[in-house]
Amino acid sequence: MKKIILLTLAVFALLPAAAQGNIENAKKAAEKARLATVDPKSASKPASWINFGKKMLDAYNAPLKEFSSVQYKVQLSDLGLKPKRTEIVQIEGKSVEKLSFENANLYFDAKSGQLLFTEVRNAAYPDALEQAFGAYKKAFELDPKKGKEVADAYKNISGKFQNEAAFYYYTQKLDKASYMFEQAALVSAEPPYAQLDTLALFNASVAARLSGDNAKAKDILNKCLEYGYDSEGKVYAALYYVTEATLDKAANAADSLAIRKESKGYLEQGIAKYSLNQEIVINLINQKIQLQEDPQEIFDLFTKAKQQDPKNASLYAVEADVRAKLGMKEEAIAGYKKSVEVDPKYAYGYYCIGKFYYDEAMGFYDQAQREDDNNKYEALVNQYMDALVQCVEPFESFFNISEEKNNKDVAAQYLKIVCYNLYSAYSRQDNEALGNQYKEKNQKYNAYLKGE
């Protein structure tokens, strides 16, 4: 038995050296393959470049080779892998266990122990993926018949760039994330694979924008449009944001005006294709107001769309959302009510009506708390209660019509609060009948939220 234990310990003791050997051997193989690409006798052969590409991918994978089968933290002890350091870090507000090894850091979900990310610490080459991509690209140039093999390699390389990008994004290294997302997209777009990962390209712009590099974000977003990708209007809206972000650098009023007109131009391009994209519509209306232009043409688009599709409840609700954001409260509530008139099963419309009256009630409540005149105070309290009453029925319709649990939970939460406040108010007024009515409703929705 002692010999077995000693043998096992000996194997474990060799693992770190073996891990380091993986990297050194991979580098030696890659450099040997590189020689064939500069040798005049073999540099013209596509096989030389494909082999170099493979060896560079092997070098990229080398620091992580010993962890290739690890999916959960518990597997590390089975493999005899012991970290140099363990710590709890926060990623996107989530507790993550970071285990540091000689060549890599592994990040595990602190609760489930599932592997989330791997981070190379001791890379064989910092640009191994770029070199691999260049090698396969050269091979395809020399022999287009190698298309299938090269396309498969591009797909693999793009995926690895994506993994790198995701790690950098979630750890807030946004400039690196943007670069990796962009590389993933460009590799995927390259023939013979030629299947642009449009989401990766868009994500590259998001990461660049979040990092504060609006110029790069704008460049990438324009590439999205060049490739024919607009994400149903999101690219135009994003171009508006990154252009507006340069306003603080404007030297004078003329420059500011030029920037606003440019950003408005992106919104106009977007609305020409997506006339009901709420984000574009709202920003375009606001921009027209900033430029002292008439926003009525936007509402004319809604009118035209409703004429073409009069039974589309969402058209009335989206227009009402826009009017609400512009402070046009009466028009907004009329639009929400029209949406459920057109389609009595349109859950969102009921939610908006309930929320409209709830917000109105809270406004009256705040005013009442600041009012010293007793008569005015009583009037505001009555308005507060009337608004609360008006939001109960639409919230209950929202609860009853919705199939999604999350929607039901939202409706129940509002109803629990509203009905309790009404019960309390009517009880203070000695109105027992109405007080009990809302007390029962409060108990009903409170029990639902508790799962009873």
Long-range contacts of 312-318 (CB under 8 A, 24+ apart): 312/342, 313/339, 313/340, 313/342, 313/343, 313/346, 313/349, 314/276, 314/339, 314/346, 314/348, 315/276, 316/342, 316/349, 317/346, 317/348, 317/349, 317/352, 318/276, 318/278, 318/281
What is the predicted pLDDT for the residue at 19?
Answer: 60
Helix (H) or strand (E) holding 418: helix 405-428
Percent of the chain with pLDDT over 70: 95
Half-sphere exposure of residue 95, counting CA atoms within 13 Å on the CB side?
A: 7
User: Which tens digit of pLDDT belongs to each residue from 294-332?
Assistant: 778 778 878 877 887 889 898 899 889 888 888 899 999
User: Which tens digit of pLDDT belongs to each residue from 186-200?
Assistant: 999 999 999 999 999
Is residue 8 scored above 80 in pLDDT?
Answer: no
Starting from the edge strand earliest in sequence, which strands make up the sheet with 94-100, in order?
A: 85-91, 94-100, 104-109, 115-120
User: Which tens digit of pLDDT belongs to each residue from 227-260?
Assistant: 999 999 999 999 999 999 999 888 999 999 999 9
Half-sphere exposure of residue 200, counting CA atoms within 13 Å on the CB side?
A: 24
Distance CA 79, CA 70 (A): 9
pTM: 0.67
Residue with tokens 């926003």: 295
Yes or no: say if 130 and 156 are a contact pair by the CB < 8 Å rule.
Answer: no
Q: What are the tokens at 344?
A: 């009595």
Instruction: Tell me the CA distances in angstroms from 356 to 68, 256, 314, 353, 392, one per residue in order.
Output: 54, 36, 17, 5, 11
Is residue 1 scored above 80 in pLDDT?
Answer: no
User: Which tens digit of pLDDT belongs to each residue from 370-404?
Assistant: 989 999 999 999 999 999 999 999 999 999 999 99
Q: Dihedral angle at the C-alpha atoms of 422, 423, 425, 428, nearest 10 degrees?
A: 170
Residue 406 has a CB neighbour count (10 Å cut-off) of: 8
Q: What are the tokens at 323?
A: 């009017």
Mean pLDDT of 126-151: 97
pLDDT bin (cut points 50, 70, 90) of residue 18 is low
pLDDT bin (cut points 50, 70, 90) of residue 213 is very high
Instruction: Tell me the CA distances in angstroms from 413 to 345, 384, 396, 436, 446, one per residue in order.
Output: 21, 19, 11, 19, 8
Q: What are the tokens at 26?
A: 């991979």
Is residue 15 scored above 80 in pLDDT?
Answer: no
Is residue 9 scored above 60 in pLDDT?
Answer: no
User: Which tens digit of pLDDT belongs to each residue from 22-46?
Assistant: 899 999 999 999 999 999 999 999 9
Q: Identify which has the larger pLDDT, 300 or 368.
A: 368
What is the predicted pLDDT for the residue at 11?
Answer: 35
User: Which tens digit of pLDDT belongs to each residue from 75-111?
Assistant: 999 899 999 999 999 988 889 999 999 999 999 999 9
212: region left, alpha or beta (phi > 0 left; psi from -120 to 50 alpha): left
